[in-house]
Structure 1
Amino acid sequence: MKYLVMKCGGSVLENLPRSFYEDIVKIHEFGEWIPVIVHGGGPLITSLLKSFNVETTFVGGLRVTNEQVLDVVEMVLSGSVNKEVVRNIIETGGKAFGISGIDGGLLQAEPTEDAKTLGFVGKVVSVNNKIIEGIVDQGFIPVISPVGIDAYGQRYNINGDVAASAIAKSLGANLCFISDIPGIMVEKDGIKQKLDIVSKSVIEEMIANQTIYGGMIPKVKAAIDGLLSHIPEVGIINGIEKNSLLDYVSGKKIGTKIVLEEEIFYG
């Protein structure tokens, strides 16, 4: 059996069809793959912060996080969003167990190098695999909210893509980013086209020329970081598209595959 870590962003979670959760349950029942879900919740966090009249800003696709923002982040991610995902899986006949990265020290974190700018935004330094394995051994699909903790009890807001990559690295798992777009898109002759496969060097060029920007930056950086740490495969697929997840685990050509090779030829 192989682990498949799926990262579902907050924006796509709002639009995922029931069939997506049905496919997760099918994958779990087939037994070839062990699904692990890491989720975001950005739009709901932003909405709630706005209702509280708390200013929120982003730097390089990451939310600047003080203690007040952190309270809302944890409430949304580890509370309402986490339990919504668990509930959706249960409603489609599956078994899911929701957990925060804080619980059991699942995601041990420390501040990023840009802590002076970003505040309590963390990076994962270790993952307690025994917790994930214990949940899996009980027959549940782990559903993880990306809030981490350090040895002193300080919480950290961890970008969901970064958390998913760290978990995939720790488990030796494939990593799949679930999006609401077909993959990484480029414009050619005035028409947007999906890249079937894209390399590290091309991604770096696309970040430099701002073809890739905003929230996609931490996603592709997390993908490359995972590949450099020997994650077998990283893909971006459209979770709204029917059967996309089943097609992915079946090895069909779908979404964008991210690789390390320096030169890729697109056919």
Structure 2
Amino acid sequence: MGYLVIKCGGSVLEQLPKSFFENIVSLMKVQQLKPIIVHGGGPNITQLLTQLEIHSTFHKGLRVTSNEVLDIVEMVLSGSVNKSIVRQIIAAGGMAVGLSGVDGMLLVGKPISSTRELGYVGKIESVNPRFVKLLAEEGVIPVISPIAIDGDGQRWNINGDIAAAAIAKALCAPLYMVSDVPGIMKNGQVLSQLSVSEVEELLKDETISGGMIPKAQAALECLRSGVEEVVIINGLEENGLIKLINGMTIGTKIMEDVTCKISQ
């Protein structure tokens, strides 16, 4: 049984149909895969920040994160959003455990830039997937919020796409990025299959923009490290995950031919 990392974008979480979670359980019980969920929660964070009248801005698709904002980010991602996904997987007949990147130092982070213009926004320095693998081997679906930690105990807000990519790299697992858009688009049409160089060109000419930028960058990072494929799909497509596993053309598949080794 191979691993499969599924990144659920915050923009689509509240809209995901019951069949999506049934598909995840089916991937494990029928397809004999070991799904691992990584999630965002941006709209939920924005909603609570607004209610608390805490100012928040974005820079190149990433939320500028002060210490005050970081408290809210962790509260929402590792609390309400994480447990909502766990509940829905259990209701669909599966078993799930909610984690954050802090637990077991799953995600070790550091500042995303030396200038600190983004505050406590981090990038992944290393992944320790041991506990995730243990859970998956026991038929439990890990559900991971993208908060990282460093050796001093400092938390870091990690973009969910980047966190999912790092975990996929560590496990040499395909990465499915579930969003509220049908894939990477150009001139109103979904691009069904792309190479690394084609994605680089679309980033360069700004065809890929906004929230799709970190998704594309995460995909490139995975593929350059030997992950077989990254697929960006619309989570609202009925039984989309099963259709994809069964070979149907859905979303945008990005591929590169490099060998990968699983992290211990």
Q: TM-score, length-normalised on structure 2?
A: 0.94
Question: Residue 83 of structure 2 aligns to which amino acid in structure 1?
Answer: K
The residue that corresponds to 2:155 in the other structure is 155
For 2:86, the equivalent position in structure 1 comes to 86
Aligned to 1:240, which of 232, 236, 239? 236
- Aligned-pair CA distance for 1:248: 1.2
Q: CA deviation at 1:202?
A: 2.6
Deviation at 1:197, TM superposition (A): 0.9
Query: Tell me, which stretches of 5 or more residues in structure 2 are unaligned?
Result: 258-264
d(CA) in 2 for partners of 1:139, 1:203: 35
Which residue of structure 2 aligns with residue 229 of structure 1? 225
Hey, what's the Cα distance between the residues in 2 that align with 1:24 and 1:115? 40
* 1:256 correspondence with 2:252: yes
| Map of 1:172 onto structure 2 | 172
Question: Is 1:120–1:155's contact at 8 Å kept on the other side of the alignment?
Answer: yes
What is the alpha-carbon distance in structure 1 between the residues aligned to residue 135 and residue 21 of structure 2?
A: 18
Alignment-derived partner of residue 32 in structure 1:
32
Q: Identify if the C-alpha distance between structure 1 residues 114 and 51 changes in structure 2 by more than 3 Å, giving closer, same or farther.
A: farther
Name the SS for the 2:135 alignment partner.
Answer: helix
Does the aligned pair in 1 maintain the 2:35–2:136 contact within 8 Å? no
Deviations 1:195-232 (A, max 9, x none): 01122333233223332111110110010011000011
Pairwise mapping of residues 129-208 of structure 1 onto structure 2 (< 5 A)?
129-187=129-187, 192-208=188-204
Give the conservation status (yes or no) of the 8 Å contact 1:115–1:121: no
Shift, 1:243, TM fit: 1.5
Q: Secondary structure at the match of 2:116?
A: helix
Quick check: 1:219 aligned with 2:215? Answer: yes
| Cα RMSD, aligned residues only | 1.3
Give the secondary-structure state (helix, strand or coil) at the position aligned to 2:167: helix
How big is each residue's C-alpha offset from its partner over 1:55-80, in whole Å with a ceiling of 9 and x where there is no partner? 11111111111100000000000000
Residues 32-57 of structure 1 show CA distances to partners (whole Å, capped at 9, x for unaligned) of 31100000000010111111111111
CA contact (8 A) 2:109 2:148 kept: yes
Counterpart-to-counterpart distance in 2, 1:72 and 1:248: 35
For 1:97, give the aligned amino acid: V
Taking the TM superposition and a 5 Å limit, the aligned residue runs for 1:14-33 are: 14-33=14-33
Q: Distance in 1 between matches of 2:169 and 2:203?
A: 23
Check conservation: 1:65, 1:118, Cα contact below 8 A. yes
Distance 1:56 1:249, change over 3 A: same
User: How many angstroms apart in 1 are the aligned matches of 2:172 and 2:67?
Assistant: 33
**Residues 67-118 of structure 1, C-alpha deviations (whole Å, 9 max, x = no match):** 0000000000000000000000011111001001001111011111255211
Q: Which runs of 5+ in 1 are unaligned?
A: 262-267
**SS state at 2:207 partner:** coil
Matching of residue 53 in structure 1 with residue 53 in structure 2: yes
Residue 260 of structure 2 corresponds to which residue in structure 1? none
Residue in 2 that maps onto 1:7:
7
Deviation of the 1:260 alpha carbon: 4.3
Structure 1 length normalisation: TM-score?
0.93
Q: Write the mapping of 1:105-116 to structure 2, written as runs, cut at 5 A.
A: 105-113=105-113, 115-116=115-116
Contact 2:34/2:137 (<8 A) preserved: no
Equivalences, count = 257
Q: Is the 8 A contact 2:226 2:256 kept in 1?
A: no
